[in-house]
Amino acid sequence: MSGARRIEEGVRRPDRVTLRLDGADLAACPGESVLAALVASGARRLRDDREGTARGAFCNMGTCSECTVWVRKGAAAWVRRRACLVPVEADLCVLTHAPEAT
Ligand code: FES
């Protein structure tokens, strides 16, 4: 994805872990929000509305639900969550579309 950015100089972060984003590996820092990891990777379009218009994160604090994604850890069931409220951890899988569409 283009537009990736993350401040690196002068910032100490834990070793990155790998999460799966729509089937692709994404390096992210444990403890940061899934939304922060997505934005750092360049992701801006998180879902489409009913008319097919691109939607992206808005509030970054769990209020707007614009960042809703599907998340699961390991073999657990997919759950719909707001990406700005889900901390990154190892073995996390994230879908930006409903899992039945995969
Ligand atoms: S960006 Fe608004 S709920 Fe996550």
Q: Tell me, what CATH number does 58's domain have?
A: 3.10.20.440
Q: Which domain holds residue 22?
A: 17-101
Which atom from ligand 1 is nearest to the alpha carbon of 59? 2
CA angle, 67 then 72 then 76, to 5°: 155
Domain count, the chain: 1
Domain-embedded: residue 3: no
Averaged pLDDT, 73-91: 95
- Residue 102 reports pLDDT greater than 60: no
Please state, in angstroms and as integers, the Cα–Cα distance from residue 88 to each residue in 48, 49, 50, 51, 71, following that order: 23, 25, 28, 31, 11
Domain-embedded: residue 1: no
pLDDT in tens, 28-80: 999 999 999 999 988 888 888 889 999 999 999 999 999 999 999 989 999 99
Domain-embedded: residue 4: no
Please state, in angstroms and as integers, the Cα–Cα distance from residue 101 to each residue in 8, 39, 55, 62, following that order: 36, 23, 18, 25
Provide the whole-model pTM: 0.87
Ligand 1 neighbourhood includes 36 CB (under 6 angstroms): no
| Residue 43 CA, ligand 1 centroid: distance in Å | 14
Ligand 1 neighbourhood includes 67 CB (under 6 angstroms): yes
Query: Would you say the C-alpha torsion 80, 82, 88, 89 has a positive or negative sign?
Result: negative
